Amino acid sequence: MASVSRLVRFAVLFAILGPLVSFISASPTHGKHPSPKYPFASPKCRRPLIRKDWRALSTSEKKSYIAAVQCLGNKKKARSISGIPGLKTRYDDFQGIHSVQTPNIHWVGHFMLWHRYYIATYEKTLREVCGYRGAQPYWNWTVDNNSGKDMSQWPIFNNQTGFGGNGVYVDGENPFGIPERSGGGCVPKGPFAWPKWSVNLGPGDSLAYNPRCLTRDFSRPMMKWATPALVNWVLDVNKYSDFAYRLENVPVFTVPNVHGAGHFGVGGALGALGDVYASPGDPIFYLHHTTMDRMLWTWQKRNLPARLYDVGGPIVPFDYTGPNITLSFKVGLGKLAPNVTLAQIMNLQGDILCYDYE
């Protein structure tokens, strides 16, 4: 308890000092750097990476992002994390760490913040290991759903300047009754078609080396969950714990939630993105989750003095009456990054993270 109240006091102090610090760092002596975009920015974050919607990237920006993902997945050796025998590439490191932590990072209060740190580490790795110069893009699905176009026509699924489209149709089990599933087999074209791309871990929680093609299984009706009305409903709350709850909602296919829309609209019943453990085998995972991080930041920005410090929600999945996460709760990514407290990653332009959204 003592450490929690110390943190709260620290938070209050920080709220008072924040504007002062940014005033100093925005002073003319630092004139060649853009000034921080809001009063809580840390002086350590001078040049935030600006994350953009996939559709807003130029063709060459799209190609350089795809090339960097392919580099992680093809050329670079895994860092070998103990307990994950199937790792071959640096890309697998991320899929593997998601898989081993899956039982502790979904339907908990830190769901969004764990994924925030995970994506920022992925973005950093693309830049440092594969020479990528841009920021992690996101995929704003509401715009695509609104377009009324067939999914195969959406920019993110383009065969040349996107991630390729649906898998070929195969018959298969559909235990959750995903409506109008339309693929399920290998993605036949584009930069992530076999054998250019190989998903090495999974299915499910298997951590053995099991190279196979990337599968997708589009469900247009699941994508219809991705509406501005549902996004606004998630944002329209005062407490972090309510935001977190509304974002994931209950894990059934009769209650819409934006998290499920991206996963099951693309992954359906048989595609990689519909697999709770192995879903980061589909590179679109990172663009989908970045959109939800953008939602969290949009929510935080509506009242930063309070929402840089508000967390809550269960530590144990679905345990809504049990203990809640606090700012001193730690999240980690095994060997991929140092452990951090949630307090350290609340701020997109803090001492650890340094990015913003367009």
Which residues of this protein are in contact with ligand NAG, per CB under 6 A? 140, 142-143, 145-146, 148, 152-153, 159, 165, 188-189, 224, 227-228, 231, 241, 291, 294-295, 312, 321-324, 332, 338-339
Q: Which is nearer to ligand NAG, 212 or 224 (CB)?
A: 224
CA 219, CA 267: separation in Å to the nearest integer? 8
Q: Which is nearer to ligand NAG, 16 or 168 (CB)?
A: 168
CA 317, CA 105: separation in Å to the nearest integer? 8
Q: Which is nearer to ligand NAG, 102 or 227 (CB)?
A: 227
CB of 84 to ligand NAG, least distance (A): 14
CB of 28 to ligand NAG, least distance (A): 35
CB of 277 to ligand NAG, least distance (A): 20
Q: Which is nearer to ligand NAG, 10 or 320 (CB)?
A: 320
Structure token digits, residue 3: 């450490």
CB of 317 to ligand NAG, least distance (A): 14
Give me the residues paired with residue 184 across strands: 169
Structure token digits, residue 76: 């670079």
- CA angle in degrees (0–180, nearest 5) for 122-205-343: 40
Nearest to 7 by CA among 325, 301, 332, 349: 325
Q: Which is nearer to ligand NAG, 159 or 210 (CB)?
A: 159
- DSSP state letter for 343: G
Q: For residue 330, what is the enclosing H or E element?
A: strand 330-331
CB of 225 to ligand NAG, least distance (A): 9
CB-facing half-sphere around the CA of 300: CA atoms within 13 A: 23
CB of 262 to ligand NAG, least distance (A): 10
- Contact assessment for residue 154 and residue 68, using Cβ atoms and an 8 Å cutoff: no
Q: Which is nearer to ligand NAG, 27 or 303 (CB)?
A: 303
- CA angle in degrees (0–180, nearest 5) for 351-353-354: 95
